[in-house]
Amino acid sequence: MVTIRDLDKVGTVLDAAIEAGANNIYGVNFSLADPSKVQSEARKKAVADAKSKADELASLTGLKVDEVISVSEVIGGGGGYYSGGFAAMLPRAVAMGGGGGPIAPGELELSLQLQIVYSVQ
């Protein structure tokens, strides 16, 4: 496992690994070094979204949302991920003499799940 913080050097590092004899690269994963700020913002949006949906459902059933009874976060893999099919592309690129190929910056997707239970009137 290698951590590379400069995206401009990813292709060079992969090429060096191949030249050194690596014949299996199972993927290139991008993640955030510190996802805490992004997670905090996602939680704020999730709470607002949950309240909006609860209000809508309550109004459809003639009820009114009251107080929050409980909040829980479903814990899973965090930090985001990049799934760009790199593992599938690399053997073909190398077989054609293309080396590791360029790595282009993109977006990470970080998701989290909250479960919020409200009382209703």
For residue range 18-53, what is the model confidence (pLDDT) as tens digits? 889 888 877 777 888 888 999 999 999 999 999 999
Residue 15 Cα distances to 34, 37, 76, 106, angstroms = 28, 34, 33, 21
pTM for this predicted structure: 0.62
The structural domains of the chain, ordered by start, are 7-120 (3.30.110)
Burial of 115 (0-12, 13-18, 19+ CB in 10 A): exposed
Q: What is the pLDDT of residues 4-17, one digit of tens each?
A: 888 888 888 888 88
Q: What pLDDT does residue 22 have?
A: 85
Q: How far apart are the first and last CA of the chain?
A: 54
Instruction: State the Cα–Cα distance between residues 103 and 112, nearest whole angstrom.
Output: 27
Q: Kindly report the three-state secondary structure assignment for every residue of the chain.
A: CCCCCCHHHHHHHHHHHHHCCCCCCCCCCCCCCCCHHHHHHHHHHHHHHHHHHHHHHHHHCCCCEEEEEEEEEECCCCCCECCCCHHHHHHHHHHCCCCCCCCCCCCCECCCEEEEEEEEC
pLDDT at 86 over 50: no
